Structure 1
Amino acid sequence: MALQHHKDATLRYQQQVDNSRNYVIPFIEQAMPIQPGTRVMEIGCGEGGVLTPLLEKGCHCVGVDLDHPRIELANQFLGNYVQNGQLRLITRNIYDVDFLGEFRNAFDLIILKDAIEHIPDQAKIIGYLKNLLAPKGQVYFGFPPWYMPHGGHQQICQSKVLGMLPYIHLLPRPLYRGLLRAAGEHNGTIQELMDIRDTGISIERFEKIVQQQGFAVTRKQHYLINPIYKYKFGLQPRTQWGPVSKLPFVRNFLTTCVYYMIGEN
């Protein structure tokens, strides 16, 4: 059932731009000001759609991604900003010594949109971000909780049936892998889904890591219907009902997306 935006980079970029402009940026602005000259880095920037509204506001941005073809696409979409020096697009590991040497305490805002659930050792990277934040800087996270209906990203399956089935990623690992193989999914897709199974993150674990790494949550919003579903499925975004968002563990099964802002405690 791989969605059209998985195949169409221009459509994917435009969806990122609209989602960022209408939902991500307004959320961030309730926790900190965004103004010309604000220094921003996005980790896992892809085609650069999330950064586009920030560039339009006059921010100075750095986009980092290990997927070089997606960085090349970002250069195509945002070449004018690269040319005028307002944007740098980099294919580099942020743990590299030279990266830290160049960008230590450099950013007022760091963005990880639909990224943390793909990163191994999440405690390591969240703690490491302190090295890159300027004083009073903050970090934005947006991600799908692991236990939500499609928290395993099974929508990337070619099988329409598997792509629509909720909660199949919660099956025992051998059974889940066997189901994917029986449906004829490509080995690359199966490996990607297994990797996500290893790195998927719950609301509770995220908040625990944030606290353990010396950060505090400055703002959060849980969604019953993820804002990006407006572009993918034509569904209107809906915030999570307050009492549900406060129910530990249970909320993960009913919440399709969470937004967080964190700052050093």
Structure 2
Amino acid sequence: MSLPQHTDATLRYQQQVENSRNYVLPFIAREFPDLRGLRVMEIGCGEGGVLTPFLEQGCDCVGVDLWPERIELAKGFLGSYAESGQLRLIAKNIYDVDFFGEFRHAFDIIILKDAIEHIPDQHKLIAYLKELLSPGGQAYFGFPPWYMPHGGHQQICQSRVLSFLPYIHLLPRPLYRGLLKAAGESQGTIQELMELVDTGISIERFEKIAKETGYDITQRKYYLINPIYKYKFKLQPREQFGWMKGIPFVRNFFTTCMYYMIKPKAAQ
């Protein structure tokens, strides 16, 4: 069953703000205790809720999204910050030459919240972020590991049964597609969920990419219960058990969210 926030932009924005204020910002602030004046970019900013607490802390922010309609929603929520010049909202591909030319080595913090699992060629993207980070800058990632119970984002299904059914995204591709079709899901929903089969990312894959592209992981946090599940399933956030965090691959199945901070390795 589709959740209210999937169709209510105001509710979605409010939930993003609360989640960012209580969980994302404090995690990032461990690396950057004094946020005032820092330049922050969010890739896939949507309605701008994740950036709002950073704006409140005095950061200069840029929100980028491929969908112009979502940028227009963000302007509606954050118009005062945009008018003052503290925030820029851009509907553009970050690989565009003019974007790169303007923002090369510009950002102290780059945020990808619930975004990396939707992006093809993650290796290319994570490597490219080094060209946008300032010296000493870091990138934050928050994402659901692919193998966890709802790693396929099946909560967007209209079917009440499928939206709560765990691990169905791990079925063989033809069987998964057939199940979605038999349940009456729209072609758009089926396409979105099947794309995630290709782009979903595990803990081990993310850390391997970070290493291969020349980053150090400066922080990581495992969640048994994703903080965003407070809104989706009325569950209270909870960090993963210590012993589970230490079991490679198996932890993917029981960790519903990962937070990371990564920093380019110093030149040798």
Q: Which residue is 1:75 aligned to?
A: 75
CA distance in 1, matches of 2:114, 2:201: 11
Shift of 1:246: 1.4
Answering whether residue 260 of structure 2 is matched by residue 260 of structure 1, we say yes
Superposition misfits of 4+ residues, deviation over 3 angstroms:
none
Q: Which residue is 1:130 aligned to?
A: 130
**Letter of the structure 2 residue corresponding to residue 91 of structure 1:** A
**Letter of the structure 2 residue corresponding to residue 127 of structure 1:** A
Q: Which residue is 1:170 aligned to?
A: 170
**Letter of the structure 1 residue corresponding to residue 23 of structure 2:** Y
Alignment of 1:7-18 (within 5 A): 7-18=7-18
Q: Which residue is 2:90 aligned to?
A: 90
Which sections of structure 1, spanning at least 5 residues, go unmatched?
A: none
CA distance in 2, matches of 1:34, 1:79: 25
Query: Structure 1 stretch 153-162 or stretch 26-35: which is displaced more?
Result: 26-35
CA distance in 2, matches of 1:141, 1:70: 20
Q: Which residue is 1:28 aligned to?
A: 28
Q: Which residue is 2:141 aligned to?
A: 141
Answering whether residue 256 of structure 2 is matched by residue 250 of structure 1, we say no
CA distance in 2, matches of 1:96, 1:246: 40
Q: Which residue is 1:235 aligned to?
A: 235
Which sections of structure 2, spanning at least 5 residues, go unmatched?
A: none
Shift of 1:68: 1.2
Q: Which residue is 1:159 aligned to?
A: 159
Q: Which residue is 1:102 aligned to?
A: 102
CA distance in 2, matches of 1:102, 1:90: 12
TM-score, reference length from structure 2: 0.98
CA distance in 2, matches of 1:167, 1:192: 17
Distance 1:181 1:100, change over 3 A: same
CA distances 1:58-79 after superposition (whole Å, capped 9, x unpaired): 1000000001111110000000
CA distance in 1, matches of 2:9, 2:246: 37
Shift of 1:232: 2.2
Aligned residues: 265
Contact 2:29 2:35 in 1 (8 A): no
Alignment of 1:214-233 (within 5 A): 214-233=214-233
Distance 1:49 1:34, change over 3 A: farther
TM-score, reference length from structure 1: 0.99
